[in-house]
Structure 1
C-alpha cells in the first residue's frame, strides 16, 4: 500500500423506475470499475446459484429484480451473471469491522472498517415512489453498508462470523431491503426474523421515535437486544448466540467497552464524532492491508434527516439533508475526499 492514498467517495442521485435506476448504476459501474475489482467480485460469486438468487429476491424484494435487470442492460451483461454477482444471495466476502452507537439524543454514529480497494466508495440517494427513499453507503452497488430512509429508520451491519455459513442473503443486501421496505425498528426486526441469512451479523438500528435495537442474526436464527442508548461492534452478546462468535473477539470487546464509556458523559455531537474520525481514537484503525482500516465515519440524525460524513481520518466533514435532496432533486455536492494512511 502507498504511504498515503487519496480516497474519493462519489455521491449519486438515483431517480426513476427500478429498472431505470438499475440501468443508471450499471452504466456508471461499467465506466468506473477496474479489472482487478471485477475479477475479485466474480471470484467471490462463483458458487452462487442464479436461479435460487432470483427466487429469493422475488419472494422478499421483487423490485430489486427489476433493478438488477436494468443494471444488466447498463453493464451489457446477461441477467444471470448479474444475479450471481450482485444479488447478494450466497455471496462470499472477507470479514469486515464496524463500530456504532446511538446516543441519548437518538443520533447514530458509525465507523466502517475494511480495505479501500474493495470499497464501492459510493453514497447513493435512492429516490422511490413505490418504496422508501434512502441515503446510504453502497456495497456491490445493490447493497448498503449503512443508511437512513425518509421515515427516519437507520440501520448498519456488523460482521460477526462466516465460519458456519448457511444459504441466504449477505448483510449488505439485507440492509438495502430494510431501508426500502421498513419504516421503523419494529418493522425491520420482524423482517430480519423472516429472512434467510448467509452469515452471522449484528444489525444496529434506531428510528425517529428514539427506539434503538440490535438484532443478532445468522443461519441459526435471530435474537433482539433493546437498548437506549446503544453500542454495537462485531460479536454476539446474548447467551443463546454467543456460541456463534469467532474464537478471538478481544478487539470487538475492547471497542464495545470503549463505545459504552462514551455514552456515560453528556458529550456534544461534535465531540462524540471526534471519537470516531480522529486517528488517535481506539475506534479508528489503519490496518488496511488486513481489511481493518477505517474508511468512513458517519452520523445519521433520524429526526433532522441528515447524514454527516467524513472519509478517512479527521478530514473535512460534509452534511447531506435527505429531505432537502428529495425536495430540490439536486445534491449539494457530488464527492467527498479523504486521505487514508496505513499504520506502522
Structure 2
C-alpha cells in the first residue's frame, strides 16, 4: 500500500517547492544584479507547476504525461543553469538537453511499442522505463551539480542524487507489491519533503560560501598593494618550502623622506609600484610576494625557478628605472636560499634580512647575498 495519500503528498511538495521559489524571487527583487536567483526561483516554481499538472492532466493522455515528465527533468536542469550563472560561466551547455530527452524517449518508447501491439496492454515495461528515465535524468543533473567546487553545490547535488535509490526502491515496491495506478508510488513524494529542502538550502548556501571565501581572501591580502600580508605569506610558505627556494627581502631606501617631501600618496604609489614589479615576477615564476611591514616586502621564489639571482638583479634594475622619476626612490635587496638541512623558511628569512642590512650599510640601492 502507499505510505501516505498521494494527493496529500503532492500538495505538500507543491507548498514546499513554491515556498522556496518565492524566497528566491524575493531575494532577487532586493538584489537584481544576482539574476542566478531567478533561475533557482524558476526551477522551484516549475517543479510546483509539474505537481499541479500531474494532479490536473497527468492521466489525460500520452502527450500531457510526456510533457510533464520532461518538465520535471528540466526543472532540475534550470537549477544547474542558475549555478553556472552564479559562477560567471556560460549558462547553457549541450548536455542540458539530455535529461528531458532521456525521459521523453523512455516514456514514449514503450507506449509506442504497446500501440504497435508489440507489448501487452498490462505490461510493466512503461512503468519501468519511466522510473529508469527519471533516474537517468536525475543522475545527469545531480552529477553536474555535485561536481562543483563549492559546498552548496555539493549539498544540492547530493540532494538530487539521493532521489536515485528512492526511485529504484519505489519501482521494486510497485512491481512486487503495489497494484495501484501510480507508477512511482508515494515514496518519491514523501522524500520530497526532505530532499527539496536540502537541494534549495544548498543553493542558498552558495552566496554565503562566496562571501566567506572573499572574506578569507581579504584577510590574507594587503589592502594597499593587493599582495599577500604576513598571514598570507605563512600560507604560501607551506606551498613553496623546499631546498633551493629563494627568499628575497626588499626595503625602500629613505621611505620616510618620500612621504615627508612628496606626501603619503606618493609613498603609496611607490609601494604599489614595487608590488606591481615584484608581483609580476612572483606570478611568472609561481612564487609569492608579501608586504610584511610599512615599506618591507618578501618575495619567495620556488626551488624550481631557474636563474633566481638573475631574476633578482632584473627586479633591482626595474626598481631603479621606476625610481628615476621625480621624487626618486631606490630599494635595497637581500637574497638567501633554503638549504637542504632546513625544515622551514625562518633561517633563510633571517639570512635575507642580514643581507638586506648589509646592502643598506654598503650604501643602499643594491643587492646583497647573491654570491654563490
Which TM bucket (shorter chain)? under 0.3
Of structures 1 and 2, the one with the larger relative CO (CA 8 A, separation 6+) is 1
TM-score (norm 2): 0.23
The normalised TM-score by structure 1 is 0.24
More strand by share: 1
User: Which structure has more helix as a fraction of its residues?
Assistant: 2
Which protein has the larger Cα radius of gyration, Structure 1 or Structure 2? 2
